[in-house]
Amino acid sequence: VASWLQLQSAAGCACMATVWQQLRHYRHRDLLQGVLLRVFERDQLECRVIQSTAFRPLLARWVDLLLAARVHSAAADPHDVPMEVQKQAQASGSPEVRWLVRRLLSRQTLRRGPPHFPSVLLQRGPQYPFEPWEL
């Protein structure tokens, strides 16, 4: 009975170690995804592709390479796409994934800057209910 309990506890420890390793991998994947999302503006197509299921295998492989090199995912350079991830993107069936990797390698974010309309809305002018002399 004691040997059976020892086997069960050893198997449980190995299982728990695997679970913790998988959780660590998922956490680093989420951190890298956040780094990539911050490169572009929220409403750009790139952010939608980064969050898509077609890009997830590339993200997982990128995290594996970062963890093997002992680089924290939050400190990773988003424009430094590993060669293996580039090859995996070229083999991908999704043209959006291939396009996104090319966009990351180009180092151009194409930011539009702050929108102009909040400052226009702050200008003083007639407000409802209108007075006869304001019309």
Give the HSE-up count for residue 24: Cα atoms under 13 Å, Cβ half-sphere.
Answer: 12
Q: Provide the 10 A C-beta neighbour count for residue 33.
A: 19
Q: Is residue 15 part of a domain?
A: yes
Q: Is residue 86 part of a domain?
A: yes
Please give the chain's pLDDT, 135 residues, in tens. Answer: 566 556 566 566 677 788 888 999 999 999 999 999 999 888 888 999 999 999 999 999 999 999 999 988 888 899 999 999 999 999 998 999 999 999 999 988 777 777 666 676 677 776 777 777 776
Residue in the structure block whose two tokens are 């019309």: 135
pTM above 0.85, yes or no: no
Total domains, the chain: 1
Tokens of 68: 């093997």
Q: Is residue 115 part of a domain?
A: no
Q: Is residue 81 part of a domain?
A: yes
Q: Which domain holds residue 90?
A: 2-108
Q: Is residue 22 part of a domain?
A: yes
Tokens of 10: 């050893």
The whole-angstrom separation of Cα 107 and Cα 6 is: 54
Q: Is residue 128 part of a domain?
A: no
Tokens of 11: 């198997």
Q: Is residue 26 part of a domain?
A: yes
Q: Is residue 47 part of a domain?
A: yes
Helices within 40-131 (DSSP H only): 45-50, 56-68, 83-91, 95-106, 117-121
